[in-house]
Amino acid sequence: MQHGAECTPAFDMVIFGGAGDLAMRKLLPSLYQAHAAGLLHDDGRILALGLNEFTQDEYLAYVEQHSRPNVKESYTDAQWQSFKARLDYLHVDATQVDDYRALAEKLGPPAGRSVVFYLAMVPHLFARICENLAAVGLNHDQARVVLEKPLGTDLKSSNAINDAVARFFKEHQLYRIDHYLGKESVQNLMAIRFGNALFEPLWCREWIHDVQITISEELGVEGRGDFYNVTGAFRDMMQNHLLQLLCIVAMEPPASMDADAVRDEKLKVLKALRRFTPEDVEEKTVRGQYTAGAIGDRAVQGFLSEPGIPADSTTETYVALKAEIDNWRWVDVPFFLRTGKRMKDRLAEIVINFRDVPNTLFPSPLGRHTANRLVIRLQPDESVRLHFLAKEAGDTMRMQPAYLNLDFHEMFKVRRADAYERLLLDVIRGRLALFMRRDEAIEAWRWVEPIMETWKTSTTPPAQYAAGSWGPAEAEALLSRDKIVWHVES
Ligand code: BG6
């Protein structure tokens, strides 16, 4: 078993969309990894539900073909075979209440087990599924429901889904997943901030000049054209992942690590985010769309030529914006957020740029605002790097950039769970801290909505950027008004 980790209680993991893309790419491989690490209770069953008329053997063959290649670590034949023994398949049409009777019969009484319903389905079915579960008595106290994003397309539709689900399940039974919260470095960010005396006194407007949060991807829309064209980068990434990261950087120390204590603090940040007026949207946001280009040495097509994307689509594949938080800690500290598809590198990082020293005693080779910075890298590697200036060796007092680097893989040579594995284990164990509470989701929609509304009526098309670049030139201009540049480090 993994060092320091405890095994789950007995459980049933019921996956709606059990033969779907998410189940094959993420859920089953993550559950396998937890199994191989000895973290799943021996009495833990995984029941996949779907519309296909698979026999048990056909389903296992399907899993073999579509999911096993996605197992990235700890693979052994023996472990894989014993993992497959946990799997079962049931033909269920999620819209038909009669099918749920067979499900209830298969599950039997919960008898102290943790029963998880993972809704890896389109969100407009969530309400119906919850209603049907309740109709056959499966909304008992031990039931937990995982809601995959996107939870609606705006505040109204998100509220409608949440209201409908809340008729059958209590808030503490609902796990709104944002897989970025399950990433090791996101948790480390909290540990670094709140477990050390070093950073917290500097973590405020007196010492921080600006914060930059980047999530860039090399991937394009990857066969999800229909979905992506109506969703766009803003809803797909900004409304959830980037805002969640911003909350963790900006939140006040919670009274404890209890789920609600943490979520209360994140909520306060979302409430303090300054709302955008239509003029702000023009001035402080940049939408982009990729054109043909190259990722490494591979030529790739532009967004408008991707399957499922209309030739006149104005959907953004890139967003950059300047967010401001109106509270005592952060007023006047810009938070620059950006995300995009088909960018130069796959990267997720948080950069804290500290203010300059008040008086420059030594000649420095660097410009302003560059001497002290903390770079927290979430992927591809997990590291924390603290940049500062030091004297160059020799007679002169010339300064050179230097840094302290903490690479978590080097430092802690223990197996680390990937985001989905950690979050699935948390659901089985009933830990809510890394899941979004309803009021957080609502507040996030309230903040993004005026931006979406302004874009809807805007006559300015998204700025173009070549696939394989760092995004449109307009995003550089967004920062240059504050006399800074985006941090890029290889
Ligand atoms: C998902 C988005 O939430 O996150 C995808 O829907 C995106 O479009 C993915 O590719 C990125 O996640 P990660 O963990 O690979 O950075």
Q: Which pLDDT belongs to residue 222?
A: 85
Nearest protein CA to atom 8 of ligand 1, as residue? 236
Pocket mutation for ligand 1, best pick of 22, 30, 234, 236 (most atoms within 8 Å of C-beta): 236
Q: Considering only CA atoms, which residue is closest to atom 5 of ligand 1? A: 236
Q: Ligand 1 centroid to 178 CA: how many Å?
A: 10
The answer, yes or no, to whether any atom of ligand 1 lies below 6 A from the CB of 217, is yes
CB 474 less than 6 A from any atom of ligand 1? no
Would you state the pLDDT for residue 1?
47
What was the pLDDT predicted at 184? 87
Tell whether ligand 1 has an atom less than 6 A from the beta carbon of residue 349: no
Digits of tens for pLDDT over the chain (490 positions)? Answer: 455 578 999 999 999 999 999 999 999 999 999 999 999 999 999 999 999 999 999 999 999 999 999 998 889 999 999 999 999 999 999 999 999 999 999 999 999 899 999 999 988 899 999 999 999 999 999 999 999 988 889 999 999 999 999 999 999 999 999 999 999 888 889 999 999 999 999 999 999 999 999 999 999 998 888 889 999 999 999 999 999 999 999 999 999 999 999 999 999 999 999 999 999 999 999 999 999 999 999 999 999 999 999 999 999 999 999 999 999 999 999 999 999 999 999 999 999 999 988 877 776 666 555 689 999 999 998 999 999 888 888 888 888 889 999 998 888 888 888 999 999 999 999 999 999 999 999 999 999 999 999 999 998 899 999 999 999 999 999 999 988 899 886 5
Q: Which of 30, 148, 153, 219 to mutate to test the pocket of ligand 1 (most atoms within 8 A of CB)?
A: 219
CA of 314 to the centre of ligand 1 (A): 21
Atom of ligand 1 nearest to the CA of 236: 6
Ligand 1 atom 15: residue of nearest CA: 217
Instruction: Give residue 242's identity as a one-letter amino acid code.
Output: L
**Å from CA of 215 to ligand 1 middle:** 9
CA 220 – ligand 1 centroid, Å: 11
- Residues assigned a catalytic role: 241
- For ligand 1, whether the C-beta of 346 sits within 6 Å is no
Q: What is the pLDDT of residue 208?
A: 96
Cα–Cα nearest to 481, from 243, 210, 287, 278: 210
Rounded distance between C-alpha atoms, residue 166 and residue 134, angstroms: 11
Q: Ligand 1, atom 4: nearest CA belongs to which residue?
A: 237
CB 219 less than 6 A from any atom of ligand 1: yes
Instruction: Find all residues with CB under 8 Å of 420, minimum gap 6, and list them.
Output: 26, 27, 30, 179, 182
Identify the CA nearest to 291 among candidates 308, 303, 279.
Answer: 303
Ligand 1 centroid to residue 199 C-alpha, Å: 30
CA–centroid distance, 341 to ligand 1, in Å, is 10
> Which atom number of ligand 1 is nearest to the Cα of residue 183?
14
Pocket test for ligand 1, best of 214, 241, 318 (most atoms within 8 A of CB): 241
Give the chain as a 3 state SS string: CCCCCCCCCCEEEEEECCCCHHHHHHHHHHHHHHHHCCCCCCCEEEEEEECCCCCHHHHHHHHHHHCHHHCCCCCCHHHHHHHHCCEEEEECCCCCHHHHHHHHHHHCCCCCCEEEEEECCCHHHHHHHHHHHHHCCCCCCCEEEEECCCCCCCHHHHHHHHHHHHCCCCHHHEEECCHHHHCHHHHHHHHHHHHCCCCHHHCCCCCEEEEEEEEECCCCCCCCHHHHHHHHHHHHHHHHHHHHHHHHHHCCCCCCCCHHHHHHHHHHHHHHECCCCHHHHHHHEEEEEEECEEECCEEECCHHHCCCCCCCCCCCCEEEEEECECCCCCCCCCEEEEEECCECCCEEEEEEEECCCCCCCCCCCCCCCCCCEEEEEEECCCEEEEEEEEECCCCCCCEEEEEEEEEHHHHCCCCCCCHHHHHHHHHHHCCCCCCECHHHHHHHHHHHHHHHHHHHHCCCCCEEEECCECCCHHHHHHHHCCCCCCCCCC
Q: Is the C-beta atom of 184 inside 6 A of ligand 1?
A: no
Does residue 236 line the site of ligand 1, with CB under 6 A?
Answer: yes
The residue nearest atom 6 of ligand 1, judged by CA position, is 236
